[in-house]
Each structure stands twice: as structure tokens, then as C-alpha cells.
Amino acid sequence: MCPGDQALELCMDQSLTKSLSKNQSEIPLSVYDLTVAYHRKPVIWDVGFEIPPGSLVGIVGPNGAGKSTLLKAILNLIPIASGRIQVFGRSLQQNRQRVGYVPQRESVDWDFPISALDVVAMGLYRQVGWCLPLRRSHWKAAQQALERVGIGELRDRQISQLSGGQQQRTFLARALVQEADLYLMDEPFAAVDASTEKAIIEILRDMKKAGRTSLVIHHDLHTVPEYFDYVVLLNMRVVAHGPTRDVFTRENLEKTYGGRLTLLDEATEAMRRRERSM
């Protein structure tokens, strides 16, 4: 027991944090009224959703729907016009270590003079600390992550010598090595071979079993019901979100992909014209 007021407080504090870190029902990600604009042109409007813990969530929507923008806004990589984002009930800054990111493969220069293992090790830079070199244990962890995605033998290969699927696996390994609880992935299945797609989805399912949550931008509508148990349908705004079997309906998809947002488009265009004349 905890005699004394101060000790009691401390005791409660401890039990609270313990229950928080253990608690599986903690919401990994909540987005409230998020609006992002580039050059005053809105890219996403009033986006709000919550995702359940330990789920495998697909973000689906047409090109230019703001899917990548949404991920970047969640990660605080781009300024947001309005809205609020919570990660495991706190701000991103407080919980950054628990969030892993797999950027789009095309976002980097694969001609860069580093090896596959070097890329994976980048996932540990935060843990290693500023100005310090990586220790043997770090390299070992990076090697294990590469093996987990099935390309352990390619560790020393310069990254332009990897196939597209292998590059994507390298990026995934870099996120895995961080041991995050929430993963945001920008099109990990884009232009990869069938075996890589299978390997990635296996890993995502393993993570789900371990209670980790993944938010994945996905393009192939055919595989959505098979891969994801929760979807967010996005086209500048959230058309629908919820369990896949409830939300992933023909009607909702038509709303997402059909140009039903003409008024919004026109308003956007008018704003751009005004911006230009200014």
C-alpha cells in the first residue's frame, strides 16, 4: 500500500502510466478537424477520424485526394491550417518514439552512396543519440530487421542496386527497427513484385497480432477487404471511415472516386484565382 499523501500520488502516477503503456484500448491516432493547404489551396478539408488500437487500417482514395498530405500532416512535416492530432492520447512531440514512418519510395534519391544496412540503421539514429557513432548492438538490430523483411544477405549492396521490391523492404526494415507502436506507411505496395507484397502484408499481420497499429495508404481496391480490417475513404475530406465490411461499399467508393465534389472544386479554383490576382 501507499502510506502518506505524496507517496499515494506517486503510486497512482506509476499505476497510471503502467496501465497506459499496457492498455490495449488506448487510441493510437485521433485526428480532429484537420485542414491543410498549400499556397492557400486546401488539400484536405476538415478531416477527422479515430482508429482502433491493434488494427490494420487502409487509407483509400483517388490521386490528389490528399492521402500523402494527411500522413505528413499527422507527422508534423508540413504546416497545418487548423485542427488537432493526438497520438496515443498525447501530442506527437511527446510520443514521437512510438510512431514509425515509411515514406513513399520515390521520395528519395536511390543513387545515394549508402548500403541497405546503412538505410535500416537510420531507424536507430534517434536512439543512438546526437553525434554518437552506432554501436555493435545497433548494427545487429539493423541486420535482424533486414533479415525479417527477407533480404538479410543484401546488407552491403548499394541501394540503387536493389530492385524496387527490395528497396521497399529496406524502407520497411528501417521502420521496424524502431519498434514503434503506430506505423504510417505511404504506398508500401506501389510497384513491388508479388512476393514483396506478400512479405509486407505478412509482417503487417504479425504486427497486428503484437498489438501494433498500421495506417497504410493503398491503391489496389481489390485487395482492400483482404488486407485491412478498417478503412478511411478519403477525397480531400473523409467520405467514410470504419470497419472494412461496413464502410467499404460500392456506394461509398462511388462517393470517393466519383467527382461528387464539384462545388468544393469550384470554390478551390475561385480561391486560387483570387490568390493569383493578389
Partner 1 sequence: MSRSLVQQDNLATLIIANDGRKQHPPRRCSGQLYSTAVSICLLLLTGSTEVMAQQNWGSLAGSLTVLAQSESTHDSLTDRTIEWPTGAQWKRVLTLQDYNTRVVVLGTMLLGMAAGTVGSFTLLRRRALMGDALSHATLPGVGLAFMLAPSLGIDSRSPGILLAGAAISGLAGVGSILFVRNMTRLREDAALGIVLSVYFGAGVAILSIIQQMPSGHAAGLEAFIYGKTASILASDAWLIASSGFFCVLVTGLLFKELTLLCFDEGYAGSRGFPIVGLDIILMAMVVMVTIIGLQAVGLVLMIALLVIPAAAARFWTQNMRQMTMISALLGGASGLLGAGMSAVFPRLPSGAMIVLVSGLMFFVSMVAGPARGVAVRLYRRRTLNRAVDRQHLLRGVYELMEVAGRISRDRHDGSKATDPVFVSFADLLAMRSWSASRLKQQIGRSVQEGLLAANPDSSLALTTKGMETAARLVHEHRLWELYLITHAEIAPSKVDRNADAIEHVLDPEMIERLEELLKRHQSVQGVLESPHPVSKEKIDEEHSAAGGSER
Q: How far is the CB of 16 from partner 1 (least distance, A)?
A: 25
Whole-Å CA distances, 194 to 28, 57, 109, 164: 30, 21, 24, 11
Q: How far apart are CA 51 and CA 229, in angstroms?
A: 11
Q: Nearer Cβ to partner 1, position 30 or 158?
A: 158
Cβ 266 to partner 1 shortest distance, Å: 22
Q: Return the number of the residue (112 or 270) whose C-beta is nearest partner 1.
A: 112
Q: What minimum distance in Å lies between the beta carbon of 239 and partner 1?
A: 26
CA nearest to 219, candidates 56, 60, 64: 60
Interface residue list for partner 1 (CB under 8 A): 72, 75-77, 93, 96, 99, 101, 103, 107-109, 112-115, 118-119, 122, 125-126, 128, 130-131, 133-134, 158, 174, 178, 184
| Closer residue to partner 1 (CB): 20 or 128 | 128
Distance, in Å, from the CA atom of 46 to the CA atom of 57, rounded to the nearest integer, reads: 20
Under 8 Å between Cβ of 229 and 56: yes
3-class SS at 225?
Answer: helix
- d(CA 144, CA 47) in angstroms, rounded, equals 38
Q: Which is nearer to partner 1, 159 or 236 (CB)?
A: 159
27-49 burial by CB neighbour count: b if 16+ within 10 A, else e?
ebbebeebbbbeeeebbbbebeb
CB of 186 to partner 1, least distance (A): 9
> Whole-number minimum distance, CB 90 to partner 1, in Å?
14
Burial of 101 (0-12, 13-18, 19+ CB in 10 A): buried
Burial class (CB in 10 A: 0-12, 13-18, 19+), 93: exposed
Of 217 and 253, which CB lies nearer to partner 1 in the complex structure? 217
- Closest to partner 1 by CB, 8 vs 108, is 108
Q: How far is the CB of 235 from partner 1 (least distance, A)?
A: 23
